[in-house]
Structure 1
Amino acid sequence: MSNSAVLPVAHAEWIKIKSLRSSLVSLVIVFVATIAITTLVFATIGRSEADNADAEPLFDAFYAFNFGQIAAISFGTTAVSSEYTSGALRISLAAVPRRGLFYGSKMLVVGGLALLAGLVTSFATFLISQAFLGDEAIGLGHPGAVRACVGGGIYLALMALLAAGLTAVLRSGVAVMSILIPFTLIVSFVVGDVADGAAGFLPDKAGQQVLHEAPSGSLGPLTGLAVCAAWTAAVLLAGWWAVRRRDA
């Protein structure tokens, strides 16, 4: 795909997302929900939890990501599902007959916006959480802190793209939300810290390894993020196949 072809289509996709209130709201909520929960938690129990012997200062700073990722999933889902629910997909494909170009441009815009929101959210979450910890606070100079902030933003973008690709496969935002939201919440809280088993290779568990200073499982920070990226790439390829092969 040449730049001359991608840029106009990507601009059109940006206009669609900007005009779709539900998608734009979901993107804003990625930041707002994560920061609000971070502020509430660290303002009330931050210092007492920091003294806990089992505390992990770096990973604990991103506690609210468990909720922010839901908004990221919602953003990726609504950005794609709107094409199917409104019947706009036929119009989009009439305007851009090259389905690979259409799909790639949409995912480029979804991923770019999610990455921007994710990076802003990640750095703000870390800095705000530490503002309530006084002498227990760590800074960006702490080992792994910058890597966790950058990786956290990438992780949120990957979850948004995972949802977008799955929506292209299933053609239903309700179905995708019904799968991914319980999946991320139940796996994270019920399976818990079983990071040495198969659960550690699931996309959310693997991706969140980048938030740890020194992960205890079989995956390191960057290899965990790579596993999450591999899941996302596989789902995006499945979505590409679905858009190319199915009728609008």
Structure 2
Amino acid sequence: MTVPFTAVARSEWIKISSVRAGSGSLLAVFVVALALNLALYVSVGGPEPDGAGDPVFRALFQTNYAQLAAISFGATAVSSEYLNGALRNSLAAVPRRGLLYAAKAAVTGGAALAVGLVTSFTTFFAGQAFAGEYAIGIGEPGALRGCFGAGIYLALMALLAFGLTFLLRSAVATLSILTPALLMLPFVIGDVAAGAADYLPDRAGRQILYQDPVGQVGPWAGLGVAALWTAAALLAGWWAMRRRDA
């Protein structure tokens, strides 16, 4: 008898939400972003208190740090499957690996998207309440697009880590690769090959956070580039799950 997708997805959500590291990382996306946003806006009026810089990016700057919690969530959602033979038990219940992988990816991405959207809109309005004369409304050009885009971007980063963790079978290895790659690699590549860094997943994806994008790709095109990186990671993770023993 074929197990319905909805039943597998429900089971995967129970597993992910019951793992403290996974649920904690998901909660941290919201907490880190809101705490950092409020700390800066309440204390000095924002990340750039003189109102300098792109106004939409200034309102959504916390996405740069929330993405680290998002990739941690994506990694820990998978790594628990490789502890104490948990993946073998999962495959015993759902022998179709494609179904199991798709359900887990859908739940991980859906949870990250929901939390990402709540985070982006909440932090936007909370920060602007303390921005004084530099406050912008959701009707500011690019603001609504940026809030929706920030949520999508965080979901993409979670799924990028998801696929990579299935490939590497280790959350530690995934975080050891992605964290420095997100924080340092764009600057290193930018110094060597001007413009190439604009097509890295984080630099391209974050163009959606700007009123006036600063890279070579536009806001939605940049998010599309990030989505292609994520799709490649998901395919690599699926290949690894399909080919390797549990």
Q: TM-score range by the shorter chain?
A: over 0.9
Q: Residue 216 of structure 1: CA displacement?
A: 2.6
Instruction: Name which of 117, 120, 129 aligns with 1:119.
Output: 117
Please give the alpha-carbon distance, in whole angstroms, between the structure 2 residues aligned to 1:10 and 1:86: 22
TM-score (norm 2): 0.94
* 1:148-163 map, 5 Å: 148-163=146-161
Q: 1:51 maps to what in 2?
A: 50
Q: 2:92 maps to what in 1?
A: 94
Please give the alpha-carbon distance, in whole angstroms, between the structure 1 residues aligned to 2:242 and 2:181: 28
The percent of aligned pairs where both chains have the same amino acid is: 58
- Give aligned pairs, total: 245
Q: Residue 85 of structure 1: CA displacement?
A: 2.2
Q: 2:179 maps to what in 1?
A: 181
Q: 1:235 maps to what in 2?
A: 233
* 1:110-149 map, 5 Å: 110-149=108-147
Q: Residue 86 of structure 1: CA displacement?
A: 2.9
Q: Residue 221 of structure 1: CA displacement?
A: 0.4
Gaps of 5+ in 1: none
Q: Structure 1 residues 219, 195: CA separation in 2 closer, same or farther (over 3 Å shift)?
A: farther
Q: Structure 1 residues 153, 5: CA separation in 2 closer, same or farther (over 3 Å shift)?
A: same
Instruction: Name which of 220, 223, 238 aligns with 1:222.
Output: 220
Letter in 1 for 2:126: I
Deviates more, 1:4-13 or 1:203-212: 4-13
Q: Structure 1 residues 190, 62: CA separation in 2 closer, same or farther (over 3 Å shift)?
A: farther
Secondary structure of the residue that 2:117 maps to in structure 1?
helix
Q: Structure 1 residues 144, 33: CA separation in 2 closer, same or farther (over 3 Å shift)?
A: same
Q: Residue 87 of structure 1: CA displacement?
A: 1.6
Q: Structure 1 residues 187, 43: CA separation in 2 closer, same or farther (over 3 Å shift)?
A: farther
* CA-based RMSD: 2.0
Q: 1:63 maps to what in 2?
A: 61
8 A Cα contact 1:203 1:231, kept in partner: yes
Q: Residue 45 of structure 1: CA displacement?
A: 2.3
Q: 1:32 maps to what in 2?
A: 31
TM-score (norm 1): 0.93
Q: 1:204 maps to what in 2?
A: 202
Please give the alpha-carbon distance, in whole angstroms, between the structure 1 residues aligned to 2:227 and 2:74: 15
Write the deviation string for residues 150-194 of structure 1: whole angstroms up to 9, x where unpaired: 000000000000000000000011100101111112236666899
